[in-house]
Amino acid sequence: MTSVDHRPAETHSHTHGPGCGHESVIHLDHVDYIHDGHAHRAHHENGTVHYDECSTCSCGNCGGEPCSMCTCANCSCPSCNHATCSCSNCGGDACSDCKCADCSCATCAHAG
């Protein structure tokens, strides 16, 4: 599970989801919706849902790009997950695409 600052995103006239018109990217244990250079994630609170800004890359090479959009070759940010899965089940998939139920990779942090 990833800890994220509670930073509400601007109000939308729609709910993010399949077919909403924004690119969706799996980021660790949730889905980010890419929107005008931002990455929004659902935040469930008191029976309601709003969207927060997701984490930004802290490696110093990205210029504040959202972690789910980071493409740095030498990224050291703990919230970015574009590393290659090292478990024997994936065959070299990116950690962000790993869906192994019993993954043993140290850089994958998905919800199985």
58 phi, psi to nearest 5 deg:
-110, 10
Tally of residues, the chain: 112
Q: Which residue in the block uniquely carries the two structure tokens 């989801």?
A: 17
The per-residue pLDDT for range 22-68, each reduced to its tens digit, is 888 878 778 888 888 888 888 888 888 878 888 888 888 877 788 88
65-78: per-residue pLDDT in tens? Answer: 888 888 887 788 87
Its pTM stands at: 0.61
